[in-house]
A and B are shown apart, each in its own frame.
Chain A
Amino acid sequence: MTVRKVLRGAIGVAGFLLVAEAAGRLGLIDPTILPLTSTVLGRTIGLAADGDFLSEVGATLLACFAGLLIAIVLAVPAGVALGTLPKVERATRPLLEFLRPIPSLALIPLALFVFIPTHNAKIALIVYACTWPLLINTMYGVRDVDPLAKETLRSFGFGSLAVLWRVTMPSTAPFIATGIRLAASVTLIVAVSVELVAGGEGIGAFLTHMSTGAGNMDFVLAGTIWAGAIGLVANFLLTGAERRLFRWHQERVGGTS
């Protein structure tokens, strides 16, 4: 069954590539505008060995990692605090509800003013964008903690810090992991966007640079394919890690719903 599924998937991908190639060769699509699939695939493989392109990819990924890390350090403790202190949460809720809908990319021009090298502006925006899924998932997770588990530990004379460390944090961890996965998928979108607008280094800057020169569409598409591949791998790794680390959580959630 799974073998057949993999086979069908492979046939689907191969079919798509062949149709696109044929459309180009038969003149249905103008190859000077949209290059042949074989050309694009060749470029894609070529870019993997291209030091310049790799350093652009590195710059993007570095910003993503840095932004995500800073966001975790800021948003997870904030989420725990808001989750454990309902009064503070209630007071700040209108403020958060007002800030949350502000689209992160609307802040690009402002960030470019405030954070001087483009690289810093990029990281700052990634932090902003990642904060929301992290904060909300953490808060939700803390509120979801079984009160009985907390009571049990307290009845054995443990203090609130011990309760936080031994009950609240472990049972919130899967929610934080979900927040991290959601935030990670946002980082690449924000990073590429800032690079497209402001240039500097990174995949977005590479794409802008290539698309302004005529006849470089094959490079642009190859870069896009790599961006997709990075997104795919990141999602695959994070989903896999989440499943492996928190199997107990999935079972519990699956069992009650």
Chain B
Amino acid sequence: MTAVSAQRPGVARRVAGRILSLWIMPVALVLWEVVTRWIQAVYFPPPSTVLVRLHELWFSGSWRTFFLTDDAIGNFLPSFTRLAIGWVLGCAVGVGVGVALGRSTRLSAYVDPLVHFGRSIPPPTLVPVFLVLFQFGGSMQVATIVFGVVWPIMINAIEGARYVDRQYLDTAQVFSLSRLDRLRRVILPAAAPKIFAGLRISVSLSLILMIISELVGSTDGIGHRMLQAQGLFDIPTTWAAIVLLGLMGFLLNTTFLLVERRILAWHRGARRTD
């Protein structure tokens, strides 16, 4: 490793190094396959079985539907839609209210206790409440996601907007920026690193809340499908759903981090030279 880095490896070698550093993945998979086949554990099917199930259940459809099966379309689509709507709504409300509260000490003094209480309620406890209020159907799941993600986003946005460097605000005032420009070009960018910290938490939280809302009160969605499999003692499908949700979590996080890196490139640059 040291010998390689001493002579500045080329791109090809770096990529090769990256791939080699993943050696543990195939080793773990093979080990898991061998052990599960050997001891024949009922609840731990070999990974090959899980992958085959994952493929035939959801990804063996026609090319017209991007290889998705009817089962996949019927469950993924409602899940993704609710996740997206819930997350976007939660972000909009959380950032909007949070920045407003952060900029007004008086207003935030009035609602601070309510915000802290709201944040402390474990979001799944509201599933039964929303179940009664919205009945079955999409809104209960969306409401659960919105309620869960709104607090970490709001609390981070409050902090970000509250502690904007005084000199930034002075500069904005000296050059008579309009209120809108001050918000868009000074306060929001200055609060952005904090806001993104809240959003980062909210991404994985929204996925968790999507799952629990679908496990408890849903007639479709990935969580519901998983519960169905559990009821039928269909263990490979349960595992396939876990792998699918794990992949979803991985993809969502990775995408978010890429976007964050791009938008906050200035922040990392400025911090490095400080």
Which of B109, B124, B235 neighbours the largest number of chain A CB atoms within 10 Å of its CB? Answer: B124
Does residue A101 face the partner (Cβ distance < 8 Å to B)? yes
Contact with B along A170-203 (1 / 0, CB 8 A): 0000000000000000001100110011000001
CB atoms of A101 and B249 under 8 A apart: yes
List the A side residues contacting B117 at CB < 8 Å: 228-229, 232
Does residue B163 face the partner (Cβ distance < 8 Å to A)? no
In the complex where A12-B114, A196-B128, A224-B121 touch, is A102 in contact with B245 (Cβ < 8 A)? yes
CB atoms of B235 and A113 under 8 A apart: yes
CB atoms of B216 and A227 under 8 A apart: no
CB atoms of B238 and A109 under 8 A apart: yes
Does residue A106 face the partner (Cβ distance < 8 Å to B)? yes
CB atoms of A203 and B125 under 8 A apart: yes
CB atoms of A94 and B21 under 8 A apart: yes
Which secondary structure dominates chain B's binding surface? helix
CB atoms of B120 and A101 under 8 A apart: no
CB atoms of A110 and B24 under 8 A apart: no
Distance in angstroms between the alpha carbons of A33 and B131 in the assembled complex: 11
List the B side residues contacting A98 at CB < 8 Å: 25, 246, 250
CB atoms of B24 and A211 under 8 A apart: no
List the A side residues contacting B245 at CB < 8 Å: 102-103, 106
Q: How many residues of B contact A (CB 8 A)?
A: 53
Distance in angstroms between the alpha carbons of A5 and B207 in the assembled complex: 36
Nearest residue (CB) in B for A229 is: B120
Instruction: State which of B25, B127, B246 has its C-beta within 8 Å of the C-beta of A106.
Output: B246
Closest approach, in angstroms, between the C-beta of A114 and any C-beta of chain B?
Answer: 5
Which secondary structure dominates chain A's binding surface? helix
Q: Which of B180-229 contact A (CB under 8 A)?
A: 204, 207-208, 211-212, 215-216, 223, 226-227, 229
Does residue A221 face the partner (Cβ distance < 8 Å to B)? yes
Does residue A118 face the partner (Cβ distance < 8 Å to B)? no
Distance in angstroms between the alpha carbons of A217 and B129 in the assembled complex: 7
Does residue B67 face the partner (Cβ distance < 8 Å to A)? no
CB atoms of A102 and B129 under 8 A apart: no
Chain A's interface size range is 35 or more
Nearest residue (CB) in B for A15 is: B110
In the complex where A13-B114, A94-B25 touch, is A221 in contact with B129 (Cβ < 8 A)? yes
**In the complex, how many residue pairs between chain A and chain B have their CB atoms under 8 Å apart?**
153
Distance in angstroms between the alpha carbons of A98 and B117 in the assembled complex: 34
CB atoms of A227 and B125 under 8 A apart: yes
Does residue A108 face the partner (Cβ distance < 8 Å to B)? yes
Q: Which of A26-64 contact B (CB under 8 A)?
A: 33-34
CB atoms of A189 and B120 under 8 A apart: no
Closest approach, in angstroms, between the C-beta of A165 and any C-beta of chain B?
Answer: 30
Distance in angstroms between the alpha carbons of A112 and B235 in the assembled complex: 12
Distance in angstroms between the alpha carbons of A236 and B229 in the assembled complex: 40
Does residue A84 face the partner (Cβ distance < 8 Å to B)? no
Contact with A along B114-157 (1 / 0, CB 8 A): 10111011111111110111000000000000000000000000
List the A side residues contacting B43 at CB < 8 Å: 110, 113-114
Distance in angstroms between the alpha carbons of A114 and B245 in the assembled complex: 19
Distance in angstroms between the alpha carbons of A197 and B22 in the assembled complex: 36
Contact with B along A16-31 (1 / 0, CB 8 A): 1000000000000000
CB atoms of B122 and A106 under 8 A apart: no
Nearest residue (CB) in B for A4 is: B109
Does residue A123 face the partner (Cβ distance < 8 Å to B)? no
8 contacts between A and B (CB under 8 A): A12-B113, A99-B246, A113-B238, A189-B208, A204-B124, A207-B128, A210-B128, A224-B129
